[in-house]
Chain A
Amino acid sequence: MPREDSTSLAALLSAPSELTDPGSSKTAIVLMTRIRLARNVVGHSFPGWAKPAQREQILTTCRDAVARLPQMKRCFNFAVSDLGELERQILVERHLISRELSGSKGGAGVLISRDQAFSLMVNEEDHLRIQVLRAGLNLKRAWTAINDLDSALEEHLDFAFSPTLGYLTACPTNLGTAMRASAMMHLPALVISNQMEKVVRAVNQLGMVVRGLFGEGSDASGSIFQISNQTTLGEAEEVILKRLGSVLQSIVEHEVNARARLLEADAGKLHDKIGRAYGILQNSYLLTSGEAMNLLSLLRLGIDLGLFPDDQRSLIDRLLIEAQPGHLQHAQRGECDAAQRDALRAVRLRAEFASFPRPEIRSANPGAAA
């Protein structure tokens, strides 16, 4: 029997979303902004300590409350236990659930708004992890959206709160605002010119954290990094966001400068890198996820530098998600091993890049003039 629309992952994948749709990728360096709030219901044990029946009760309570929010009208509603391995992986790759939630036992669920802008995880580390995702750099807009959703939710749920410690969370590192705001940034020039370590250190000093695309420990594959606030207690949300915003702005400036310096020092070398990436994407027969990410990243840089048309950026951003193992296997309708995936990925990318415009490298490298 086909699943109901609201619990069908296929329906979610075919629904339009800001992150995978053309027209959304207007920002060159910041791919997306994300804010998440942790909330717990007063008088109940945190998910990690709650008994299975209590977890189920929280899931029902939270689902009922979320169902009453106008922002969550016709939302997708998944119980983690009803999802297959691949389906969970897809939600992780789309940043709609955490890996922790995907591995959790009974009583865990997620509610995702139609446009996939909001995702509410139930019984992850806290009763509720409310998240908003927006394309590009837009902390203010993201904050307004999630603040409104949180206030609407509060009409129906009593949140655990202390006047001195703020929102009470399972882990003391999230106390206070219980807010983690982050931006996903594409920083290829800082990586190529070996400046990332310096940036990470400076960002740390300012109370922010830098992670790879899929969190700490994941490498800088695709030169994509997440920058987020480290601390949550002692400052108001707006203050944290303002500080994060200025850190992000300064990283953007550093990346822009690094690009300019790379072009100034040896444009030919940079153009060669991008041209080779283009060639490999069109002609390879085996591509690991990491290599694909790096090649796509170089093409994205090429678009930013005007070597390819600007409207191709959304294709690259979509492929950065769809070339991930879960999405690839789902499109193929079945699990397969890493070697088969590498072949599949190459087939997919060859097809996508067969008609991709050639790089327009206007001024040949200076050395060739003579």
Chain B
Amino acid sequence: MANPLKCDLCSKPATVHLTQIVNNKVHKVDLCEACAEAKGVTDPGGFSLADLLLKASLTPDAAPPTPGTRCPRCGYTPVEFKKHGRLGCPACYEAFATLVEPMLANMHSGVTHAGKVPARSLERKSLYDRLTKLELDLTEAIKSERYEDAARARDEINQVKQSFHPDAP
């Protein structure tokens, strides 16, 4: 047999050939047995070709990673993202926005979330943000001897704390 198909990941002869249609686009991947196994093609947990395409960076339009960037929270790098197809932590989405966001249109039916919102988590976050700001205001007010402002900030802080634990006396 002349020119057998080569594995897309390691160039050994490919024995596993996959075709999947994602968002009306046909994607084909050829893999050797070892890579098919390693990439979980036989994994019942739910293998998807989109996932593999992402890992192999075969997805069209994906911007090349900017070297040198790191997620400020967890230290993850674009190189690792390319290798594993997974991100390091939730903050990576912001750190690597230019890398990830162009991929989404190919992967999903839209690029903006339209579903459930964790209302309670968000409410807690906004209360927490407000508390942080008020505490800062309080310190500032005391420092510059604006006692009326300080008293107002303190009252508001108590109010916010109350809404964190509405059952507390």
Contacts and interface: CB of A to CB of B under 8 A. Distances in A.
Specify whether A and B are partners.
yes
Interface of A: 40, 42-46, 48-49, 92, 98-100, 125, 147, 150-151, 154-155, 157-168, 170-173, 175-177, 179-180, 201, 204-205, 207, 209, 211-218, 228, 230-237, 239
A78 B120 CA distance: 28
Contacts of B41: 216-217
A77 to B, nearest CB: 21
Given A44-B89, A125-B86, A170-B86, A99 B121 contact: no
Given A231-B108, A237-B115, A98 B86 contact: no
Given A164-B112, A172-B100, A173-B107, A215 B47 contact: yes
A175 B121 contact: no
A179 B46 CA distance: 13
26 contacts: A40-B90, A45-B88, A46-B86, A46-B88, A49-B87, A49-B88, A92-B44, A99-B44, A100-B43, A158-B125, A163-B117, A164-B112, A172-B103, A173-B48, A176-B108, A204-B20, A205-B24, A215-B44, A216-B41, A216-B42, A218-B44, A230-B48, A231-B109, A235-B109, A235-B110, A237-B115
A150 B115 CA distance: 14
A163 B112 CA distance: 8
Interface in B51-104: 51, 54, 73-74, 76, 80, 84-90, 93, 100, 103-104
Nearest to B100: A172
Contacts of A150: 116
A270 B133 CA distance: 74
A340 to B, nearest CB: 23
Q: Which 5 residue pairs are nearest across A and B when measured between Cβ atoms?
A: A234-B110, A215-B44, A166-B113, A214-B44, A160-B90
B146 interface: no
A152 to B, nearest CB: 10
B169 interface: no
A165 B100 CA distance: 11
B50 interface: yes
B11 to A, nearest CB: 22
B22 to A, nearest CB: 7
Given A172-B103, A217-B42, A237-B115, A230 B22 contact: yes
Given A48-B84, A125-B86, A235 B23 contact: no
Interface residues of B, number: 50
A39 B115 CA distance: 14
Interface string B23-55: 110000000000000001111111110110010
A216 B47 contact: yes
A98 B43 CA distance: 9
B16 to A, nearest CB: 9
Interface of B: 20-24, 40-48, 50-51, 54, 73-74, 76, 80, 84-90, 93, 100, 103-104, 107-122, 124-125
Nearest to B120: A154
Nearest to A171: B86
Nearest to B41: A217
Nearest to A39: B118
Contacts of A230: 22-23, 48, 50
A165 B105 CA distance: 12
B153 to A, nearest CB: 25
Contacts of B44: 92, 98-99, 211-218
B97 to A, nearest CB: 9
Nearest to A126: B86
A172 B87 contact: yes
Contact of A168 (B84, B90, B114): B90
Contact of B121 (A161, A166, A234, A239): A161
Contact of B113 (A163, A204, A211, A213): A163
A159 B122 CA distance: 9
A125 B87 CA distance: 10
A357 to B, nearest CB: 33
A239 B114 CA distance: 10
Contacts of B50: 173, 230
A205 to B, nearest CB: 7
A237 B47 CA distance: 21
